[in-house]
Amino acid sequence: MAIVQERTVTPAGLGADIHWGAVIAGAIAAAALSLVLLAFGSGIGLATSSVSPTWRDMSFVLWFLSGLYLVFVALLSFGLGGYVAGRMRGRLTTVAAADEAEFRDGMHGLLAWALAIVLWAVLAVGVAHAVAPAAVPGGGSTGPSTSVAGENTIAYELDQLFRSERPLPTDYSDPARAEAARILLTSSSHSGVSQEDRDYLVTLVSTRARVSPQEADTRVSKIIPRAHDALRRARQAGVLIAFLSAVALILGAAVSWYTACEGGREREIGGLSWLWRTRAVRP
C-alpha cells in the first residue's frame, strides 16, 4: 500500500519568500517606539549620556537604572516590531504547515529586529556627525588639533587647568587645550602620566594661562588625579551600559521571535490569540 505524504502547497511569493513589507513595517514600528521611549527616559533623568560636565558623578544605582531602562525599551519596541512582522506576513494555504509557518513567522521577527538595529545604527552615525562640531566649547569645528574624547570626558578639568583672568589669543587656545587633553588621557593608563609629559604640561599651562611655573605645577598636580578619577568613572559607566545594551539586544531578539510567532497565530485564527484561547476553554 503506497503511503501518500501530505505536502504543503503555497501560492507563488507567499510562504516560501521573505515578505519584506512585513519586515520593514516591523522594523519601523520598533525603531519609532524605541525613539519615543528613549526620549521619555531622557525626560525623567534616565539618559545614558549628558552634556553636563558632572554627568560622570552620577551614582552607580542611577547608571544601573538607566541600563535597565534600555532593557525595558528593547523588550517593548522589539516585541512590537516582531508582532507587526508576524501578523502582516502572508499566510500559508494549509493547516498542515503550522510548524513551518511558526518558524517563518519567527524568522520574520528576527529580520525585523536586525533591520531595526541597522536603522538605529545609521541614525546614530548621522547624529554623531551632526553634533560633532558642537563637541568643542565655543562652537568651533572639530579638526586635527581637537581632542573630542578629552572634551567629552574631562572638559571641566581642562577649564580649571587653563583658567586665566587675562584675555587669551583664540588662535592658540585650541591646539594647547587639545594637546593637554591628550596628555591627561594617559593618566588612565597603567603607568600614568610620565614625568616628561608632566613637565611639558606644566610649561604648556604656564605659557597658555600666563601664570608662574609654580602655579602651573600646582594646577597640574591637582588636575592629574581628578582626570584619572573622571576617566575611571567614565570607563566603569561605559562598561556597565555596554553590557546592559548587549543584554537588551539579545533579549530583544528572543522577544521579537516570540511576538512574531504570536502575531502569526493571530493571523491564522483571524483574531487575538488570548481571546481565542479563552473561548476555547469555555464549556
CA 118 vs. chain centroid, Å, equals 12
| Report for 7-16, 62-71, 128-137, 240-249: range of highest mean pLDDT | 240-249
Query: What distance in Å separates the CA atoms of residue 1 and residue 144, rounded to the nearest whole number?
Result: 81
The yes-or-no verdict on residue 63 having pLDDT over 60 is yes
Which whole-number Å values give the CA distances from 126 to 29, 33, 130, 172, 213, in the listed order? 20, 19, 6, 31, 44
The position carrying cell 506576513 is: 89
Query: What distance in Å separates the CA atoms of residue 110 and residue 260, rounded to the nearest whole number?
Result: 8
Q: For residue range 133-173, what is the model confidence (pLDDT) as tens digits?
A: 544 444 444 444 455 566 667 888 888 888 877 665 544 44
Q: What percent of the residues of the chain are helix, what percent strand, and what percent coil, each to the nearest 5?
A: 75, 0, 25
The yes-or-no verdict on residue 37 having pLDDT over 80 is yes
Which whole-number Å values give the CA distances from 96 to 5, 10, 15, 139, 274, in the listed order? 11, 11, 13, 65, 22
Whether the Cβ atoms of residue 119 and residue 84 lie closer than 8 Å to each other: no
